[in-house]
Structure 1
Amino acid sequence: MGHDISGFNKAGEEIAYARFSMGNYNATILYNVLDANNYYAGVSGSGGSTTFSIQQIEKALNAYKQFCKKGDFSLVRREFFPWDQKQILDFIQNCLTTAKVEGSVRVYFG
């Protein structure tokens, strides 16, 4: 069990990936900034997917930057955070790159 979150372009190719173990609550940071909490199923994702527009991914990136800037890490498992911080940022940026080219990106929450 765990959270395997993947971003896909319109051709169905994986363009972004983030992995969190089932005990790593830092996964909730990515769900929160994507405004995708309905896909969070505790120890894993729900198995659902949704499509995000450029604006939604830009909003997620801005929310993540604000989260990091404020330094409110009360929900963060500190031993994983440096790695998770990078994978969350990389995931959002890769999704944004694709969304800017194709107009949207599909994200699967497994």
Structure 2
Amino acid sequence: MGHDIYGINKAGAEIAYARFSMGNYNATILYRLLEAEMFYAGVSGSGGSTTFTVEQIEKALRTYYTLYKKDVSQLNNDSIGWDQKQILIFIKNCLATAQKEGRVRVYFG
């Protein structure tokens, strides 16, 4: 069991992926940043999906930076933990797709 969260473009291709073991509390951070707590099912995601707008993903990114007080130049810095990097990369990939296509779909498995 675990959380497998996918960002999906309009064509149905995976554009972002985040994986958390069932006991990893960092999964809840990504759910909260996306304001998608309803898809959190404890040891995994609910299996549901939803569509996010550019504005929603931008808000998630702003909240991430507020939470971690990090900027883009520190992305590869060893002081950022693996899960923090994974969350940031996931959100940035979703944002790039949403900016290009107007929206991005996220599946919470």
The count of aligned residue pairs is 100
Report matched runs for 1:69-108 at 5 Å. Answer: 69=69, 82-108=81-107
Q: TM-score, normalised on structure 2?
A: 0.89
Please list every run of 5 or more consecutive structure 1 residues that lacks an aligned counterpart in the other structure. 71-80
- The whole-number CA distance in structure 2 between the counterparts of 1:28 and 1:40 is 8
Could you tell me the percent identity over the aligned residues? Answer: 74
State the Cα deviation string for residues 27-49 of structure 1 (Å, max 9, x = none).
00000000000000000000000
Structure 1's consecutive aligned runs of 4 or more residues displaced over 6 angstroms after TM superposition are none
**C-alpha RMSD of the superposition:** 1.2
State the Cα deviation string for residues 57-101 of structure 1 (Å, max 9, x = none).
00000011111029xxxxxxxxxx700000000000000000000
Q: TM-score, normalised on structure 1?
A: 0.89
SS in 2 for 1:15: strand
State the Cα deviation string for residues 5-61 of structure 1 (Å, max 9, x = none).
000000000000000000101000000000000000000000000000000000000
Aligned partner letter, 2:92 = Q
